[in-house]
Structure 1
Amino acid sequence: MRRARVVLRRRWRRWSSPSATVIAPPALVAIAAAGLLGLGGLGWMARQLIASASGAEGRPSLLEILQEVRQPPMAPEAGRRQAPPPPQRQAWRSPLRPSCAPPAEALRQRLENRLVVLQNTPHRVAIDPSNFGQRFDHDAFGNPVDSTPKVVVLHETVYGIGSALNTFLTPHPNDDDQVSYHTLIGGDGAVLNTVDPSLRAFGAGNSAFNGLWVITNPRVSGSVNNFALHLSLETPLDGEDNDPAHSGYSSAQYDAMAVVLTDWMRRFGFPAQNITTHRYVDLGGERGDPRSFDWRALEVRLAALGMLCPSR
């Protein structure tokens, strides 16, 4: 017995020595309490397992709870995920003024005759399928979207119309290189249809119109392409550069543009106020086209075709 007391005394001195690892009596109490709690937890788990086997108490068993935790979370239902909105910016204010005044008959007749020719004998150019696609009826988040064309974006080719066509005819497997417009208008007024209006042309990248865009790829920002029509004018020779202006577009181009726009507006029912520019819809601030555009020249022609009268 004396031997036992000596051993205990020596051990206590070892624990209380400044050079030894200290485990104070309060720590011992905490360790003991944790052990008791652990035993209590094991007892609770055992009771829950027994209850689950017998179906007692009418509550979910521990096994059922564990099984529920192990299950992966359910994917969000289609149409329930909120799509990010485009950045806020000033709303588009159309330079085209409403007009119901009687048009100059000669101008109206010339444009109407040209519209009949456009509709009856369209000039189509088949471009590579990688440069256009189907319009989406749902965005990348599963939400239904209206893909009906409701806005026209005006562009310019910068280089000749032949250069633009060569680009459209070339396969582009890389998304960043894909580009197209629905219609091109040459300097002589020739109209070339390259993408059917029912399909999606790749005329604008990161873009929005009056707070509207559609995100079709969750990894990139939204675009107007899913609900836009793209029309591009051939740039004059003195505009094949990065200057802010050039000599402008020909009268024949404005005639053809007014006819194409009238055809689209009558087919899809959107107002002339939804004719905008690449400069406006582009969110990256990189596009400035169409340069030197004469809104008054377009206004006179659309008015002659009756497309600027609100009561039409």
Structure 2
Amino acid sequence: MLDLRRLEILHRFAALGTITATAADLGYSPSAISQQLAALEKEAGLALIERTARRASLTDAGRELAEHAALVLAAAETAHSRMRARIGTVGGRVTVSCIHALAPALAPHLAALQRAHPALNVVAHETGSATAAAAVLDRRYDLAVIDDWSARPPAEDSGLSVHRLRREDIVLAVPADHPLAERSGPATAAQLRRLVHDQTWLCAPAGQLSRAAGDRYLTGIDATPPRRWEFEGLHILAALVAGGAGVALLPAGLVQEQAGVAGVRPVPRMERTILALTRTTTREDPAVAACLHAARQALGSRHR
């Protein structure tokens, strides 16, 4: 019989690609991971890992067993969730990830949940929205809170449950004393083109979802910023707008929280969606359900 824990290690290795990354993810030393994979090879009766001086990779048999491992682990997790649902106690370990901009709102609710359920151990991490779905499917996280800046948020995928927490307007953030801040109506595309040309455009670095969405929006209204500053973190961008450094497209809720900044709704409209991702195999797990409920309480109805 193949050991379930070793199948989990093989599954993580297949997802992460290196012994070092697998060890860091699971909290073991690289030598311990190598030993467990070697033991799994003995149980399987054939080579699963091809080792060279520089790296280790899966053999054909290793890839096939990793595919079977994913199915076995999913079935085991579903069974475990259903047994926990029968008990009804909120307990055990739940790993939660959240983008850093939403963590201050989510953290107090998770802390309160732990106080209410002493048997529950919430392990919190910061993550990026682009990689969260894969991390949930690979069981690195049980719940991931992310933002999606696309016009159509993702639908449920194989093994992944998508929970929509709220939809939020993206507004043009300008200093509170800017002439546009005194207007009651939205900013037209022509006004935006003039503003982008005259002001420094503040945005996230290339590769960030907000940057890609903002660039698509500017392309759609035929606007190209002649001056662009790139900074990591939407809160940093809001603070820069407040200081008069430039203008940016930012979530309406964040703009409302930042002193010295006004938000003007652009035309055409722009929005983002706050999502929570879980696995379908944990749908009946009371602890995961409680953490998801905490996310809904924290983020579900703050701003529109």
Same fold, TM-score > 0.5, yes or no:
no
User: Which one has a larger percent strand, Structure 1 or Structure 2?
Assistant: 2
User: Which one has a larger percent helix, Structure 1 or Structure 2?
Assistant: 2
